[in-house]
Amino acid sequence: MTKNLDALRHSCSHVMADAVKRLFPKVKLGIGPAIEDGFYYDFDKKDGFAPEDLVRIEKEMQGIIKADQEFKYSEISKKEALKLFKKEPYKTELINNLEGDTVSLYKHGKFVDLCRGPHVKSTGEVKAFKLLNLAGAYWHGIETNPMLQRIYGTCFESKLELEKFLNLREEAKKRDHRKIGKELELFSIHDDVGPGLVFYHPRGAILRMTIEDYVKKEHLKRGYELVMGPHILKKDLWVTSGHYEYYKENMYIFKTEGEEYVIKPMNCPAHMLIYKSKIRSYRDLPIRFFELGNVHRREKSGVLHGLLRVRGFTQDDAHIFCLASQVESEIKGVIDFVLDTMRVFGFKDYKIDLSTRPPKYIGTPEAWDRATGALKEALSSKGMEFEINEGEGAFYGPKIDIMVKDALGRPWQCATVQCDFALPERFDLTYISPEGKKERPVILHRVILGSIERFIGTLIEHYGGVFPVWLSPVQAKVIPITDRSYDYADEIFNRLQNEDVRVEVDKRSEKLQYKIREAELAKIPYMLVVGDKEKEAGTVSLRAKKEGNVGSVKIDEFIVRIKKEIKEKI
């Protein structure tokens, strides 16, 4: 987001707040920042807003914009500010928490707000805007605080850009993985048994299995060793790793027989113990441990979102134990692995961030600098562009995040690689050097897909549920026209099954067009319609999801075609 767009959106949030106060004078104001896709403002309104209120607010905003009122900056003392905002409890709280003796304000017309800016010159510059939706939001994001009403909106420099955004937003609604997941019977989430916990239905389980099988094979081909750790581990291990101090609020903790245990939120500590189970030599390194690890994290219910944010999920997690001299080449290997994998799954574009030391961390600043330098060098030597996220690293090390862009150009967090000099020290991990001395390995924490659940959600939205053949839970459906064709339909079914094609037969006593329509809605790549004519000729009437009616095809020809698509992951 450019500085001008940020200022424009921030200005639009002020215009919206002004309009709300004009229409609903008793409303109390919260905050209204610009965000990545627009802006929002939080309000405390006793009876809440209704969707139809957004139309009224937009109309009022148009009047403020037409008046072309100048945005004026000023500074006043805290004492004056408290007097000015004495009827605004949330503003009063903000003022009391500000450092210094003065506060900054922005005013347009009669509307005044606490603000550091930036803003455009006048309300007249705010033209291409749209209010999008309502949501609840706790004040400061804390559940014990009052629940406020949040109005989201967006604003652009031109109407053409706004229309493009709104069209993409509508397309995104159609691709919502929660909607498609229900329609295709892939998964469900039942809040009555636990929010954020995923139930995979038969077709969703096949999709997940296909992804995991591919991932396992690729890891083994690239020199990783498969390991598995337990789901619960004693508290002491998490104290050693630092998670108990830095991550405790996100962990499920319980007691049994007087001992405190943790349901693992990460796979790292178990991999540390496997490494430490015997003496390692420098000749053994690098060692790459890989696990499809099931983890659970105590996420707040307000942030849960379909498959994208859950409490129980699986990571394609690996830890690479290596020499300092091997760090750069191993990071490059991970990056190559990520990009190769994303191409196979149909993602062609990506964005890279490098996150540095956060305010709370373990290890020494010197070790952090070495780790950050290694990540930068690996990216630079591969000629890859990246952005720096200051202070956003994991508590044990800096990280590279690779976000893939989907068919709508939206970024999705998937892969990450983190360089860690701290945990080898905490777990007293060593290897024997050429001189016979004990030395510390460096650890790279990394995932390729990340959360399998989130990746499935990403795939659903990227493809709109129309998966390539190799990923489709059902790759072909045989549809007999009459019961006279059942035996031939079964023959085709058996042949395809023997060729490892995922196939179903629809023998229901429904009309042919109804069966075809249902298969189309289920987004099945191929339909094989068979009747007396096809049985006699040894053919099928082939319908392809992306081509429509292909016509009469010999069954052997179809088998060659579909097996090629599956093998080559077309």
The pLDDT value recorded for residue 4 is 87
The CATH number assigned to the domain with range 180-463 reads 3.30.930.10
Active site residue 315: yes
| Set 91, 177, 243, 319: catalytic member | 319
Which CATH homologous superfamily contains domain 3-165? Threonyl-trna Synthetase; Chain A, domain 2 (3.30.980.10)
Which candidate in 12, 268, 322, 419 is catalytic?
268
Amino acid residing at 498: N
The pTM assigned to this predicted structure is: 0.86
- Cβ burial of 346 (10 Å; 0-12, 13-18, 19+) is middle
Q: How large is the C-alpha radius of gyration of the chain?
A: 29
Catalytic residue among 243, 288, 297, 440: 297
Q: How far is CA 86 from the centre of its chain?
A: 41
Average pLDDT over residues 283-292: 97
399 is catalytic: yes
Residue 237 reports pLDDT greater than 60 = yes
Top-confidence residue, 141 or 566:
566
Angle at 380 between CA 379 and CA 385, to 5 degrees: 75
- The DSSP output letter for 474 is S
317 annotated active-site: yes
Nearest to 454 by CA among 165, 244, 106, 181: 181
517 is a catalytic site residue: no
Query: How confident is the model over 303-315, as a mean pLDDT?
Result: 93
Per DSSP, the chain holds a count of helices (H) and strands (E) of 18, 28
Q: 271, 280, 445, 515: which is the annotated catalytic residue?
A: 445
**Residue 2 confidence (pLDDT) above 70:** no
pLDDT tens column, 204-229: 999 999 999 999 999 999 999 999 99
**Residue of 316, 317, 401, 506 with catalytic role:** 317
Residue 207's φ and ψ, nearest 5 degrees, are -60, -45
Question: DSSP code of 124?
Answer: G
User: Is position 127 annotated as part of the catalytic site?
Assistant: no
- Predicted confidence at residue 546, as pLDDT, reads 83
pLDDT band at 100 (very low <50, low <70, confident <90, very high): confident
Residues 332-341: pLDDT tens digits?
999 999 999 9
Q: How far apart are CA 312 and CA 326, in angstroms?
A: 34
For residue 265, whether the previous peptide bond is cis, meaning omega lies within 30 degrees of 0, is no
pLDDT (0 to 100) of residue 381 = 87
**Could you report the per-residue pLDDT of 318-363, keeping only the tens digit for each?**
999 999 899 989 999 999 999 999 999 999 999 999 999 988 888 8
Give the least confident one: 197-201, 422-426, 469-473, 491-495. 422-426
pLDDT band (50, 70, 90) for residue 393 = confident
SS3 sequence of 343-382: HHCCCCEEEEEEECCCCCCCCCHHHHHHHHHHHHHHHHHC
Residue limits of CATH 3.40.50.800 in the chain: 476-568
Q: Select which of 44, 119, 264, 315 is catalytic.
A: 315
pLDDT at 3: 61
Question: Which residues of the chain are in CATH 3.30.980.10 domains?
Answer: 3-165
What's the rounded mean pLDDT across residues 119-142?
92
pLDDT digit string (tens) for 477-505?
999 999 999 999 999 999 999 999 999 99
Please tell me which residue in 150, 399, 462, 543 is annotated as part of the active site.
399
The whole-number pLDDT of residue 29 equals 96
Angle of CA points 33, 37, 41, to nearest 5°: 30
Classify 433 as helix, strand or coil: coil
* Mean pLDDT (the chain, rounded): 93
Q: Which CATH class is domain 476-568?
A: alpha beta
C-alpha to C-alpha distance for 535 and 474, rounded to whole angstroms: 23
What is the per-residue pLDDT across 38-80, written as a single tens digit (0 to 9) for each?
A: 999 999 999 999 999 999 999 999 999 999 999 999 999 999 9
The ranges of the chain annotated as CATH 3.30.930.10 are 180-463
**Residue 512 predicted with pLDDT over 80:** yes
